[in-house]
């Protein structure tokens, strides 16, 4: 006679559809199915939040598994364990009976175990001949074996979600750091851009960031921050590229150097060069282009040739090309050069070369009647690749060197301190060029 297996809980505990579902699942076990009970337990522990199991419930499940003597759960073996509450409390580190009952109910509700209650609610096993268990009442571990593959998939999904959450938090942290520091760099370096608008966009995004948020909300905020990062980075990158192209333009553009510099010490334009036929002089232009230096003019050389531009510098000092450009922009109105002429010169020559040209014009301003017209003429020649700033600056340096040599000679003849070894000074300050550059200029006839 086959013994009836109890399917309803003892006492006042009600029967639910969830319990029936767990029992149906437990019947879908293949006879040859086996699984390591501790590996499945690890998967259940990883997916406990998805399953709805509590930490204490898992401690009790761990204790229940210790009452199953085999290391593996098998479809051919007995999967019902029947420890008393006292034994469970001892192996669950001494939790109270009320806590034990509450979390045992959690294991049943989560579908991890099934109650197999006896008629009187006690847990025990009835053995037959030979000591084999014929009937057992307690907790059935069959759902763990039946749902082992499901628990593994849930554990992998939880691990993937945890990794995605960690990655989006890293994205968010890096974007916040990059955006704030790039905005500070743009403001501190005076880079043209709407930095206040960038700052307001950043503050609006961060204001919507809660203390605890799901991954989807963090990904949406991270996407907005990355869009802001792209806009800020593009603003800085565009400015840096424009600065680099302006600084290196003289390496790629074609210049021309004439044996008679087109800006002579008196500041007048050679009429012969203006009326020269381009077709007949093309070969000469190419030779002069190859003979020019392939590097930018040193800033110190420009200031030595054009010391008057320093009076227009903020603080009376020029340390960088940007300082020179700012000083040239301040000097432009007093020289009668229109904004349109100045803008055209910057576009055709590059801002750096336009500032050098304006400093040279200022240095010989008293010899030039129409400075604006002269600048436009040089711009037109630069557009036709017939102009270089090198001859202009070297001509001014030669003129200043000649003046200083004459001053030194007259001082030596008159017994002045200059004749006793003092450094001769011009009317606009000392000419600060190296001896190597001086020798090179003399050797090339500049």
The pLDDT assigned to 375 comes to 92
- What are the residues whose beta carbons fall under 8 Å from the beta carbon of 306, sequence distance 6 or more? 356, 359, 360, 362, 363, 393, 396
Residue 220 or residue 130, greater confidence:
220
C-alpha–C-alpha distance, residues 273 and 106, integer Å: 100
The pLDDT assigned to 99 comes to 92
**What percentage of residues in the chain have a pLDDT greater than 70?**
73
Average pLDDT value for residue range 247-259? 43
| Helices assigned H by DSSP within 214-320 | 215-247, 249-252, 271-274, 282-291, 299-305
Confidence grade of residue 240 (pLDDT, cut at 50, 70, 90): confident
Confidence grade of residue 78 (pLDDT, cut at 50, 70, 90): confident
Beta bridge partners of 284: none
The pLDDT assigned to 442 comes to 54
The pLDDT assigned to 11 comes to 52
Average pLDDT value for residue range 107-112? 87
Confidence grade of residue 32 (pLDDT, cut at 50, 70, 90): confident
Q: Which of 376, 319, 310 is nearest to 347 (CA)?
A: 376
Confidence grade of residue 173 (pLDDT, cut at 50, 70, 90): very high
Instruction: Give the CA angle between residues 192, 236, 330 to the nearest 5°.
Output: 30
| Helices assigned H by DSSP within 27-141 | 37-46, 48-51, 55-66, 85-91, 97-109
Chain-centre distance for alpha carbon 83: 59
Average pLDDT value for residue range 195-215? 89
Average pLDDT value for residue range 366-386? 88
C-alpha–C-alpha distance, residues 315 and 299, integer Å: 17
Confidence grade of residue 169 (pLDDT, cut at 50, 70, 90): very high
Confidence grade of residue 21 (pLDDT, cut at 50, 70, 90): low
pTM of the model: 0.46
Provide Rg for the chain, Cα atoms. 45
Beta bridge partners of 338: none
Q: Residue 84 phi/psi, 5° resolution?
A: -80, 165
The pLDDT assigned to 5 comes to 53
Q: Residue 167 phi/psi, 5° resolution?
A: -65, -40
Q: Which of 300, 355, 301 is nearest to 324 (CA)?
A: 355
The pLDDT assigned to 190 comes to 85
Predicted confidence (pLDDT) at residue 252 exceeds the cutoff of 50:
no
CB 375, CB 341: distance < 8 Å = yes
- Write the pLDDT tens digit of every residue in 391-439: 888 888 888 888 877 877 776 555 544 444 444 333 434 455 545 455 5
CB 127, CB 134: distance < 8 Å = yes
Taking all residues of the chain, what is their mean pLDDT, rounded to a whole number?
A: 78
Q: Which of 28-37, 156-165, 393-402, 417-426 has the highest mean pLDDT?
A: 156-165
- What are the residues whose beta carbons fall under 8 Å from the beta carbon of 83, sequence distance 6 or more? 63, 64, 67, 91, 123, 138
The pLDDT assigned to 276 comes to 36
Structural domains present in the chain: 17-146 (1.10.10), 163-247 (no CATH), 271-444 (no CATH)
Query: What are the tokens at 407?
Result: 């001053």
CB 255, CB 204: distance < 8 Å = no
The pLDDT assigned to 259 comes to 34
Q: Residue 14 phi/psi, 5° resolution?
A: -80, 160
């Amino acid at each position: 006679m086959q013994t009836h297996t109890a399917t309803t809980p003892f006492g006042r505990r009600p029967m639910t559809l969830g319990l029936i579902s767990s029992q149906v699942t437990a019947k879908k076990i293949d006879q040859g199915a086996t699984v390591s009970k501790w590996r499945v337990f690890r998967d259940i522990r990883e997916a406990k939040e998805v399953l709805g199991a509590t930490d204490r419930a898992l401690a009790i499940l761990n204790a229940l598994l210790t009452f199953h003597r085999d290391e593996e759960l098998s479809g051919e073996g007995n999967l019902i364990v029947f420890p008393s509450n006292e034994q469970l409390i001892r192996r669950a580190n001494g939790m109270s009976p009320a806590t034990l009952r509450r979390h045992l109910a959690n294991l049943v509700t989560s579908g991890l175990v099934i109650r197999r209650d006896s008629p009187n609610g006690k847990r025990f096993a009835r053995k037959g001949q030979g000591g084999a268990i014929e009937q057992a009442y307690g907790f059935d571990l069959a759902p763990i074996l039946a749902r082992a593959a499901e628990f593994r998939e849930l554990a992998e999904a939880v691990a993937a979600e945890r990794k995605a959450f960690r990655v989006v938090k890293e994205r968010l942290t890096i974007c916040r750091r990059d955006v704030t520091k790039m905005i500070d760099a743009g403001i501190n370096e005076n880079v043209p851009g709407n930095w206040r608008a960038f700052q307001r966009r950043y503050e609006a995004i961060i204001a919507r960031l809660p203390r605890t948020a799901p991954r989807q909300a963090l990904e949406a905020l991270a996407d907005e921050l990355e869009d802001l990062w792209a806009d800020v980075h593009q603003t800085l990158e565009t400015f840096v590229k424009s600065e680099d192209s302006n600084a290196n333009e003289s390496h790629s553009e074609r210049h021309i150097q004439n044996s008679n510099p087109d800006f002579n010490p008196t500041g007048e334009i050679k009429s012969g060069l203006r009326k020269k036929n381009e077709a007949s002089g093309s070969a000469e232009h190419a030779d002069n282009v190859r003979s020019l230096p392939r590097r930018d003019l040193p800033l110190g050389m420009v200031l030595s040739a054009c010391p008057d531009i320093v009076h227009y510098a903020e603080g009376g000092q020029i340390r960088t090309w940007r300082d020179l450009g700012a000083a040239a922009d301040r000097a432009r109105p007093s020289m009668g050069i229109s904004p349109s002429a100045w803008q055209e010169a910057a576009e055709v020559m590059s801002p750096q070369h336009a500032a050098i040209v304006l400093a040279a014009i200022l240095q010989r301003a008293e010899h030039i009647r129409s400075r604006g017209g002269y600048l436009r003429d040089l711009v037109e020649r630069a557009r036709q690749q017939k102009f270089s700033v090198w001859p202009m600056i070297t001509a001014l340096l030669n003129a200043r060197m000649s003046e200083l040599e004459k001053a030194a000679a007259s001082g030596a003849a008159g017994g002045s301190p200059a004749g006793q070894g003092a450094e001769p000074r011009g009317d606009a300050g000392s000419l600060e060029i190296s001896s190597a550059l001086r020798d090179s200029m003399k050797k090339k006839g500049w």
